[in-house]
Every structure is written in C-alpha cells, then in structure tokens.
Structure 1
C-alpha cells in the first residue's frame, strides 16, 4: 500500500511538472533584486499561435500612456491592452519565430520564449537585434 501511494504521488507530480506551459499570466519584473513588478502579461493561444497581451500596469500613473513611437496599427494606442508578444510557434521546448514589442520605444524585435528548465514558474523572453540578444526573466503569476 505504501509503495502504491508513493508511485501515484510520483506520477501526479511528474504530470504537473511536464504539463507546465507558457500560457497564463506572467509578471514582467522592473527590478529582479527587489522583486518589483512592472506589469502583467497574459499569454494565450489564438489560431495555433501564442500571443501575449498587456493586461495590467502597476504604476497607475502610466495606465493611460499611449504607444507614441509604435508604427502601424499600434500607433498612438493605449499601451494597456496591446498585444506585445505575437505569433510564436511551438518547436520542442521553445516557442519561436515570434516578435516582442517594446512599448517604451515602439521597436519590434524577433523573439523566442521558453520555460526555464529548473523552474517552471520562470519564463525566458529573448529579443534579438541581428546576432545580439537580451533575455528577460518573467515570473508566473500564481493566483
């Protein structure tokens, strides 16, 4: 009986760990050391692609800010509600071929995202400029 319980516990825990995905709400950190959160992004699937929408800005004085430097359909739209992550496709353990919009400067970068191997509550978001890149770590919003 004891071994059956241990086996079932292991199987349930294994499934929870494996089933972690990029979908859900993520905290964009302003300061990693202090844990200060800048905003919340909701990552969702739409027509087979993964996207992420800005759903909350922590600094209430910036809630009505517009994307003044954006181009195209995002030009002069409220930053709150913008889709910042677009068109990611799953490729093994990563989501690739997507873009990330930086609403501070309006620039769009090629990007990929993936769950950190050792911690399913950390999402790596990497933006590229040519061969150069920057990776940010977002934290899963545990509700």
Structure 2
C-alpha cells in the first residue's frame, strides 16, 4: 500500500506539468468565423518552442493541400506545403508566457512577433504587428 502511494505521489509532478505546458496538439480557431482551421503541434527543443501544422480543415472553396504562395519569397517557407510547416518559431518560456519568437499566418503570408500563454485549458496566441495585436484562443486537441 505504501509503495503504491509513493509511486502515485512520484507521478504527481508529471501530471501537473502535462496540464501546465503549451506542448501538445492544439486546434487553431478562426476568431472571426469560430471554426477550427488547423491542428498545430507545439513542441520544445532545447528550451525553445516551435509549432507546426499537422492537419488543416479547408473550406469548400480552398485547396485541400495548399502551399504558402503569399509568404515572402525570401522566407524558406515560400511555396512550401502548409501541412508540416513550422509556423511558430523561437519562443522561450518567461514566467507564465512564451515570448521572443514569431508566428506565421500562412493564409496571408505575414510573420508577426508572438506571445503565447495558457488560460485554464485554452492557449492564447497573440500576434503583434508594431503596436497592434490580435489574439486567438486555441483549444487542446490531445
């Protein structure tokens, strides 16, 4: 009995970490229409956070396997497939926020400074363009 209790107590930090990290799969939700547009997998490598699109949900008028033809031609993602594309780059954890990187909107080809943070079970994703910003709410997919 004591051994089982010790094992369970040993797992508690891992369970808590799983709930308080941005790592995992997220449903990106269009803040205008309210529909799910893609699944983005956020991952960490050597303390730096990235996010790549693993699935898209195209509208009937959109291509099922698009490329980023609106990306800057100098960006290596120009004309690359959106599925598998790394759209979040270079974020580092600072307190409760993840900052210092950028996010690409492949529909318009623009790159914005990014800040991400958790609010309960939601991921807030904010893109900055100068003093202006837009925040989306993403939902956990895994």
Shorter-chain TM-score: what band? 0.7 to 0.9
Number of equivalent positions: 130
TM-score (norm 1): 0.79
Counterpart in the other structure of 1:3 = none
In the aligned structure 2, how far is the partner of 1:44 from the partner of 1:17? 17
Counterpart in the other structure of 2:88 = 85
Identify which of 88, 106, 110 aligns with 1:103. 106
Cα offset for 1:69? 1.2
Cα offset for 1:16? 4.2
- Match of 2:76, SS? helix
TM-score (norm 2): 0.80
Cα offset for 1:96? 0.4
Deviations, residues 8-38 of structure 1 (Å, cap 9, x unaligned): 99xx5x974565200000001136886x311
- Which runs of 5 or more structure 1 residues have no equivalent in the other structure? 1-7
| Contact 1:63/1:80, CA 8 A, preserved across alignment | no
| Contact 2:31/2:137, CA 8 A, preserved across alignment | no
- Which runs of 5 or more structure 2 residues have no equivalent in the other structure? 1-7
Cα offset for 1:59? 2.3
Q: Which has the higher contact order (CA 8 A, sep 6+)?
A: 2
1:76/1:139 Cα in 2 relative to 1: closer, same or farther (>3 Å)? same
Cα offset for 1:105? 1.1
Cα offset for 1:98? 1.1
- Match of 1:73, SS? coil
Counterpart in the other structure of 1:138 = 138
Query: Is 1:27 aligned with 2:30?
Result: no
Deviations, residues 81-116 of structure 1 (Å, cap 9, x unaligned): 110100000000000011000001111000110001
In the aligned structure 2, how far is the partner of 1:73 from the partner of 1:98? 16
1:32/1:23 Cα in 2 relative to 1: closer, same or farther (>3 Å)? farther
| Contact 2:30/2:136, CA 8 A, preserved across alignment | no
Counterpart in the other structure of 1:62 = 63
